[in-house]
Amino acid sequence: EFSLPDGSKIGFMPNAGIKQLLGDKFPDPAQAAGIPRAEIYLVVNDPLSYHQRALEAGALEIQSLQEMPWGDTVAYSLDPDGHVLAFAKGGE
């Protein structure tokens, strides 16, 4: 995880790490056939509404909104191109 000059953060995690975190609902990284995939982790005020919008637009739910061990409340979905969308609210 890296802090950017504007205060936002960017982090990188290999597909195998994402699969370990999210379990069987995440497609096997070997199935990507060389096509790069990514997780986009967005911290927003209302993660549930953003998650719902993604599902309505054709994303598949990986994990409903729940509190994670690091304190954020996060919902995960998979967009039609195989990218993970994470909508999160930071822990208080």
CATH class (in words) of the domain with range 2-89:
alpha beta
Q: What is the mean pLDDT of residues 3-18?
A: 72
Q: Which helix (H) or strand (E) holds 89?
A: strand 84-89
Residue 74 has a pLDDT of: 95
Confidence of residue 30 (pLDDT cuts 50, 70, 90): low
**Domains in the chain: boundaries:** 2-89
Compute the CA torsion angle 66, 72, 75, 80 (nearest 10 deg). Answer: -150
Which of helix, strand or coil describes residue 52? helix
Q: What is the pLDDT of residues 41-86, one digit of tens each?
A: 888 889 999 999 999 999 999 999 999 988 999 999 988 888 889 9
Cα–Cα distance, 21 to 28 (Å, whole number): 12
Q: Which residues contact 3 (CB under 8 A, 6 or more apart)?
A: 9
